[in-house]
C-alpha cells in the first residue's frame, strides 16, 4: 500500500527553486529514509508532508502530494486533521515547557480526544509505546525540560503517538544525541514501524542503511534515486548515488 | 616618561567611568538616607502604630491625625483598577503584535505605543478631566466623576506601554521549536498561543505586569487631577479617593519645614518607596528566573 505519493512536486523559496520535480511513493508501515548532503532539500521535502512549510513566508509549491489518495494541498484540505495524522519529530528535542504529563496530554486535549478521566490511561499507553513509562512514571508532574535529551526526544515521539497518527516524520531525530542514545531511538523506530509509516531524514548513511526499508537520495533539490535500501547501498543505478554513499562528496 | 603619562591618563579615565557607574547607586542610597532621616523624625512625636494603622488623615486639624490607611487604600484601589483594565488589553496587544500582525501594522503599532508612552502625564490627566470625568459622572449617575474609576482608566493608559513592550519581548523570546511543535501536533494558532506561547512567556509577562504596577502606583499628576482627592477609605470604584503620591504632591507646598506634617509626608514617601521597591524586586525575580 502506498501511503504518500508525490507527483511533479516543486517548491520555491521566493525565486530559489528548492525542490525540483519530486515524484516518489512511500510505502505504508515501512521506514523510508531520505539521505543527501546538507542543503539538498531533504528537510524541506518532509516538511511538505505535514505542511509545516506553510509557516514560512514566500514559499510556493506546485504539483501534488497525495496522502491516502487525497491531495493535501487542495484548498479545502483540513490542516488540523492533516497534522493530527502526520506527526513530526524535530532535530532538537522540543518538549514544551510544561510537565511531562501535560506534554503528552497536549495533543489529546486540543483535539478533545479524551476526557480528563481517560487522559492518564492515554498518557501511560503513549509513554509505554516509547519505553519511557518505567523511567518517568514517578516524575510525571516534573518539567519535561529537565530530563536527558534522549528521553526528551522519546517524549516528543510519545506526544505524537498520543494523538494516534498514521505517519511519523522525523527530521534528523538523532542529530542532537550521542551514539548510544541514537541506537536506542533507532530500536524504537524499528518497533514503531509495525504500526506507523515512518519517513526519516538523516545525514547519517549508516543510520539509513541500518533501519530503513527504502531510501531516497537527494542532491541539489532533485530526487536522484529512490529504491529499496539494500539496492541503494549495494548496487545504486545512478553514478551520483554511488559517489555519495562511497563518501566521495557530501 | 611616555608610559607614565599614558598610565595616568588610563587611571583618570577609569576613575571617571567608575564614578559615573556608581552614581545611580549612590543617588538611590542618598535619597533613601534622606527619606529615612526626615521620615523617621515623625515617630519621635507621633506613634508609628497610629501612622500605619490610623484611619484618618487630618494633617491640619488640632491635634493633627496622620493615619495613612485611607491613602494606601486609595493608591491600592486605583492601581488594582488600572491593572485589571491594562493587563488583558496589553497582553492581547503584545500577542497580536508579536504573533499575528503583518510587519507594516506591527511597526505602526509599535510607534503608536511609543507615542503613548511619550505623552506627559499632566496632559493625560487634563484630557481625562475634560472628557472621561464628565462621562463617568453621567454614565453612572453619580454626583461627581472624579472617582477611583476615572483614575484607574487613565492610569491604565499609562501602564499599557510598559506592559506591552516588556510582554512583547517575552513573547518574542519564546523559542520557535515550541511553536512549531504545537502546530505540528495540529494545534490552531490560538491554541498554540494560549497553551504554549503564553505559558512559556509567563515569567516575562508577570514581570511586565509588576513593572506596570510600579509605574501606576508611583504616578502622581494624572491621579491628582482626576481622582477627587478625598482622603476617605473607599468602598467602591465610584468614590473619590486620594493616593499617597497625590497627597505628598499637593500638601508638600503648604507645610512648614520641620513641622510634624512635613515629617509625615516624608514618612509617607518611605512607605511608597518600600512598596515600589518590593514590586520592582518581584519583577526582577521573574525577569531573571531561569526557564522552568
Q: Is the pLDDT of residue B165 over 80?
A: yes
Nearest to B46 by CA among B269, B272, B262, B274: B262
Order of all β-strands in the sheet with A222-228:
A86-89, A167-171, A197-201, A31-35, A214-219, A222-228
The answer to whether residues B210 and B280 touch, using CB atoms and an 8 Å cutoff, is: yes
Give pLDDT, residue B292. 42
* Average of per-residue pLDDT across B67-92: 95
Instruction: Determine whether the interchain pair A94/B196 forms a contact, defined as Cβ–Cβ distance below 8 Å.
Output: no
CA-based torsion, A131, A137, A142, A148: positive or negative: negative
Q: Which of A7-21, A81-95, A236-250, B128-142 has the lowest mean pLDDT?
A: A236-250
Q: Is the pLDDT of residue B1 over 70?
A: no
- What residues have CB less than 8 Å from A145, skipping those under 6 apart? A95, A97, A152, B291, B292
pLDDT in tens, B105-126: 999 999 999 999 999 989 999 9
Residues in B closer than 8 angstroms to A81, CB to CB, are 186
pLDDT in tens, A168-199: 999 999 988 889 889 989 999 999 999 999 99
Give pLDDT, residue B291. 46
pLDDT in tens, B263-275: 999 999 999 999 9
The answer to whether residues A19 and A45 touch, using CB atoms and an 8 Å cutoff, is: yes
C-alpha A12 chain-centroid distance: 21
pLDDT in tens, A215-235: 999 999 999 999 999 999 999
Structural domains of chain A, ranges and CATH numbers in brackets: 2-245 (3.40.50.300)
Probe site for chain B from A97, A144, A170, A172 (most B CB atoms < 10 A): A97
Share of chain A above pLDDT 70, in %: 99
What CA–CA distances, in Å, run from A104 to A44, A97, A129, A162, B25? 26, 12, 12, 6, 48
* Average of per-residue pLDDT across B18-47: 91
- What residues have CB less than 8 Å from A217, skipping those under 6 apart? A35, A36, A223, A224, A225, A226, A232, A236, A238, A240, A241, A244, A245
Give pLDDT, residue B285. 87
pLDDT in tens, A115-159: 888 899 999 999 998 989 999 989 999 999 999 999 999 999 999
C-alpha B56 chain-centroid distance: 25
Instruction: Determine whether the interchain pair B186/A83 forms a contact, defined as Cβ–Cβ distance below 8 Å.
Output: yes
Give pLDDT, residue A246. 87
Probe site for chain B from A50, A96, A146 (most B CB atoms < 10 A): A96
**More confident: B3 or B193:** B193
A47 touches chain B (CB under 8 A): no
pLDDT in tens, A76-106: 999 999 999 999 999 999 999 999 999 999 9
Give pLDDT, residue A250. 55
The terminus-to-terminus CA distance of chain B in angstroms comes to: 58
* Average of per-residue pLDDT across B155-171: 94
* Average of per-residue pLDDT across B174-187: 93
pLDDT in tens, B200-220: 999 999 999 999 999 999 998
Give pLDDT, residue A17. 94
Task: Provide the chain A residues 97-136 that lie in CB contact (below 8 A) with chain B.
Answer: 97-98, 106-107, 110-111
Q: Is the pLDDT of residue A113 over 90?
A: no
- Give me the residue from B181, B187, B188 closest to A94, CB to CB: B181
The answer to whether residues B85 and B153 touch, using CB atoms and an 8 Å cutoff, is: yes
The answer to whether residues A45 and A221 touch, using CB atoms and an 8 Å cutoff, is: no
Q: Is the pLDDT of residue B86 over 80?
A: yes
When the pLDDT of each residue in chain B is averaged and rounded to a whole number, the result is: 91
- The alpha-carbon gap from A157 to the nearest alpha carbon of chain B, in Å, equals 11
Amino acid at each position: 500500500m502506498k501511503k504518500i505519493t508525490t507527483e511533479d512536486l516543486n517548491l520555491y523559496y521566493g525565486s530559489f527553486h528548492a525542490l525540483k520535480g519530486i515524484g516518489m511513493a512511500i510505502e505504508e508501515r515501512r521506514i523510508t529514509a531520505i539521505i543527501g548532503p546538507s542543503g539538498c532539500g531533504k528537510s524541506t521535502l518532509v516538511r511538505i508532508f505535514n505542511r509545516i512549510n506553510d509557516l514560512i513566508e514566500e514559499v510556493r509549491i506546485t504539483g501534488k502530494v497525495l496522502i491516502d489518495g487525497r491531495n493535501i494541498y487542495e484548498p479545502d484540505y483540513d490542516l488540523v486533521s492533516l497534522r493530527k495524522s502526520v506527526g513530526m519529530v524535530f532535530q532538537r528535542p522540543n518538549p514544551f515547557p510544561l510537565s511531562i504529563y501535560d506534554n503528552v496530554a497536549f495533543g489529546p486535549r486540543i483535539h478533545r480526544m479524551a476526557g480528563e478521566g481517560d487522559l492518564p490511561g492515554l498518557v501511560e499507553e503513549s509513554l509505554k509505546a516509547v519505553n519511557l513509562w518505567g523511567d518517568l512514571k514517578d516524575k510525571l508532574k516534573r518539567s519535561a525540560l529537565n530530563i536527558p535529551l534522549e528521553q526528551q526526544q522519546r517524549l516528543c515521539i510519545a506526544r505524537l503517538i498520543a494523538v494516534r497518527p498514521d505517519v511519523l516524520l522525523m527530521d534528523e531525530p538523532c542529530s542532537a544525541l550521542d551514539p548510544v542514545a541514537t541506537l536506542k531511538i533507532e530500536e524504537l523506530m524499528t518497533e514503531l514501524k509495525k504500526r506507523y509509516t515512518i519517513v526519516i531524514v538523516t545525514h547519517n548513511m549508516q543510520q539509513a542503511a541500518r533501519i530503513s526499508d527504502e531510501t531516497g537520495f537527494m542532491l541539489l533539490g532533485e530526487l536522484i534515486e529512490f529504491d529499496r535500501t539494500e539496492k541503494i547501498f549495494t548496487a545504486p543505478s545512478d553514478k551520483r548515488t554511488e559517489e555519495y554513499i562511497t563518501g566521495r562528496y557530501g | 616618561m611616555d608610559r607614565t603619562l599614558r598610565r595616568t591618563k588610563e587611571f583618570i579615565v577609569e576613575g571617571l567611568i567608575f564614578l559615573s557607574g556608581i552614581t545611580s547607586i549612590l543617588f538611590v542610597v542618598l535619597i533613601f538616607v534622606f527619606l529615612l532621616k526626615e521620615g523617621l523624625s515623625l515617630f519621635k512625636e507621633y506613634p508609628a502604630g497610629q501612622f500605619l494603622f490610623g484611619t484618618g488623615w487630618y494633617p491640619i486639624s488640632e491635634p493633627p491625625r496622620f493615619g495613612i490607611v485611607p491613602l494606601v487604600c486609595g493608591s491600592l484601589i486605583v492601581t488594582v483598577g488600572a491593572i485589571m483594565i491594562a493587563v488583558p488589553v496589553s497582553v492581547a496587544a503584545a500577542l497580536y503584535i508579536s504573533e499575528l500582525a503583518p510587519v507594516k501594522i506591527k511597526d505602526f503599532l509599535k510607534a503608536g505605543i511609543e507615542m503613548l508612552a511619550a505623552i506627559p502625564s499632566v496632559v493625560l490627566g487634563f484630557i481625562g478631566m475634560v472628557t472621561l470625568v464628565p462621562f463617568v459622572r453621567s454614565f453612572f449617575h453619580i454626583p461627581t466623576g472624579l472617582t477611583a474609576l476615572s483614575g484607574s482608566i487613565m492610569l491604565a493608559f499609562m501602564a499599557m506601554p510598559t506592559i506591552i513592550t516588556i510582554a512583547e519581548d517575552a513573547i518574542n523570546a519564546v523559542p520557535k521549536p515550541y511553536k512549531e511543535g504545537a502546530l505540528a501536533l495540529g494545534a490552531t494558532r490560538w491554541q498554540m498561543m494560549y497553551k504554549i506561547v503564553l505559558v512559556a512567556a509567563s515569567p516575562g509577562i508577570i514581570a511586565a505586569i509588576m513593572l506596570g504596577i510600579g509605574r501606576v502606583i508611583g504616578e502622581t499628576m494624572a491621579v491628582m487631577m482626576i481622582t477627587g482627592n478625598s482622603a476617605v477609605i473607599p468602598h467602591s470604584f465610584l468614590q473619590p479617593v486620594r493616593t499617597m503620591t497625590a497627597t505628598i504632591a499637593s500638601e508638600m507646598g503648604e507645610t512648614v519645614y520641620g513641622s510634624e506634617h512635613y515629617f509625615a509626608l516624608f514618612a509617607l514617601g518611605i512607605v511608597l518607596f518600600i512598596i515600589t521597591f518590593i514590586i520592582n524586586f518581584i519583577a526582577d525575580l521573574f525577569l531573571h528566573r531561569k526557564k522552568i
